[in-house]
Structure 1
Amino acid sequence: MQQLIEPSELKKFSGMQRAAALMLALGKENGALIWQQLGIDEVKELSTTMAQLGRVPAHIVEHLLVLFSSEVSTISSLHGSFETTERLLEGILPDDKLKEVMEDIRGPSGRTMWDKLSNVSETVLAAFLKNEYPQTVAVILAKLKPEHCARVLSALPRDFAIDVIQRMLRMEPVQREIVLEIENTLKNEFMTNLSRSQRKDPHESMADVFNAFDRATEEAILGALDARAPDSAERIRALMFTFDDLANLMPAAIAALVKNADKRQMALALKGAPEEMRAIFLAAMTERAAKMLREDMASMGPVRARECEEAQGGLVRLAKLLADRGEIVLVDPKDDETMII
C-alpha cells in the first residue's frame, strides 16, 4: 500500500528536483527517449539538479512515479550524485556532449558557463567585451542576469553600450551553433586567461600556512626566514590575518563571529587576550551572555598559553570561513582603505 504523502513533504521538492528524481527512477532504458528530446541547456539544468539531489524517500518517488510504482516500491531511497548522473547519461548522450555537461556541473556550485560569467567583475568583463563585435556582446549580455548585465553596460563606452542595447532589442533567436561558438571563445580566450591572471600569489598561500602555526613556531620560522629571504618574510607578515586583526572588524562582523563561535573556544581565546580585545567581544553580546562568558573564563583557572593561542587561531579560521560565505567582511591587511569579502 502506497504511503500517504503530506502536501508539505512534496513542497520541499521543486519542479526541477521532481523531474530529476523521475529521471533517476526511470534509468537509462526508460529515460533514453526523453533525454534525446532535451536541448543541451535543458540537459545541463536537469543533470545539475540530479547531481545535487541527494536522497529522495521511496514514498516520494512512488508518488511521482505512479505508473511505475511496482518497480520502485522496493527502493528504500534514491541517491543523486555526480557519479550516478554520469553513469546514467553514458550511452544516452554522445561522448562530447556528456563531457561538456559533466564539466559544467562539476564546476563551482554546478554553475553553467553563463552563471560563472555573471560572477566576473563587470569592469574585467567590460574590458574584454569592448574589443568584440557589438552583436557578439549583445548575445553574451542577453544570457547574463539582468543586474549584472546592467553593471557591464554601465562599464562599457557609452556609444558602444547604446549600440549593444539596440542590437539586444532587435535580436532574433540565435542559432545554437553560434551560441556554442561564443561559449567556446569565452572558455578558451577569456575564462582561461582570467584564471591564469587570478592565480594566487604563493606568498598568500604561505601566509595561510603561517596563520595555522602556533605562535612560537610562527615566530621561530619567520625569524629564520628573515635571515634568508627578508623580502619574502615581510610579504608574508603583511598578508597574514591574525587574532589581533579581529579588533579591526566592524561591530556586525564581531557579532556574527560571537554567534557562530564555540563558546568554550571563545572563552579560551579571550582568556589569553588583552583586556581591550575582550571588551570588543563582550560589547557584541547581551548582558547575560557577557556575564556567562566572564564566569566561564574565571572558572577555567590557569590554562596553558598554547591552548589560548590554538583557540585564538580557531576564531581566526572561523572569521575567514564566514568571510568566504559572504556573511562578514574582513579588513584587508594589505590595505587599510579596502575591504574584501
Structure 2
Amino acid sequence: MAEAQAPAPATQDKPSSNLTKVDQAAVLLMTLGEGDAAEVLKHMGPKEVQRIGTAMSSLTNIEQHEVEAVLSGFLDEVRTLTGLGMGADSYIRNMLVTALGEDKANGLIDRILLGGNTTGLDTLKWMEARSVADIIRNEHPQIQAIVIAYLDPDQSAEIMSYFQDKVRLDIMMRVAALDTVQPSALQELNDILEKQFSGNASSQTKAMGGYKVAAEIMNNLDSSIEADLMESIKESDEDMGNQIQDLMFVFDNLKDVDDRGIQVLLREVSSESLIVALKGSDEVLKEKIFKNMSKRAAELLRDDLEAKGPVRVSEVEAAQKEILTIARRMADAGEIMLGGGGEQMM
C-alpha cells in the first residue's frame, strides 16, 4: 500500500484593502502613533496634510483585516524600493512624476534637484487665502501673478476672489502669459516675504504659469466670477481667452470620463444636484449618465428631468460647479480619471 501523501500546506492569500489610497495612508499613520505620525506629516505639503487629516477624522470602525491589508501593502512597497544609493536623481524624478503627475511634479523636481530657493512662497501655502491676498495686495501685478501661478489652483482661485474685477483680469492675463521666471526674481520675492536673503539660486529658469495654470485656476473660481473674468479676458485678448477655455475642464467634459469613473462619481452626487445640472446639458452627456445607472434609476432620472420645470441658468451653473468640485476632489484622490478640456456647451 502506498504511503498516504501529506496534504500540502494551504497558501494564505495576502489581505487586500478596499480603502482609497488616502484612507490607507491615514490608517498607516494612525498605526504609527502620534509622535511618528507627526514626523511623517512634517514632510508633506499643506494639501496632503489636510487631505490625510480629513481622512483620519472620518475613519470609523476600521476592521482588523483592513489594517492588516494596509500594513501588508506598505511592506510590499518598501521591499520594492531600490532608490537608495546610485541614481538618486533619476529615482526621485520618477517617483515624483508617478506620485503627482508630470505637471505637478516638475516644479517640485526643480526645487529638489536644482536647488531652487522657494521657502517664502511655500509658506504661503499654509496661510488662509484672505491673508495671502492681503500680503500681495499692494505688490506689483507681476509679483501677484507669480504668487498666483505658484500656489495650488484651488488656493489661487480663492485668493483671486478677494480682488476686484479689474485686478483679477490683470493678474489672470499675466499668469497666462507667464512662461519661465528667473531665479533672481524668485529670490527677490522670497526676500519680500521672509525679510531675509538666503540660499544660492539655480542657474536655470523656473517654469511657471501659462494657459494651463490659468485654466486650472479658472476651474476653481465661483461660476459668476469665472464667467465675468473669461468674458473680460476675451475682450482684451480673444485668442488667449479661447486657449484658456479650451484647457478648462467643464461639465460637458464629463462625457470624456470613462464609465467606471462616472459610476464612482454618481455615488457621491445628490439626485437633486444631478437633475438640475443635467437641465443645461446636451443629450450625449445625458445618455452617458443614463447608461451608467441601473435601468430603474435611469428611468426615474428621465422622469424627474421631464417633470422638472424651467431652471434658472445660475442654478444650473451652481449645480454643475458642485459636481465638478466633487469630480476634481475624487481625481486628486486617484479615485477617478478626468478627461481633457474643452469648451462648455450650455
TM over 0.5: no
Higher RCO structure (Cα 8 Å, ≥6 apart): 2
Q: TM-score range by the shorter chain?
A: 0.3 to 0.5
Q: TM-score, normalised by structure 1?
A: 0.43
Higher helix share: 1
**Rg larger for:** 1
Q: TM-score, normalised by structure 2?
A: 0.43
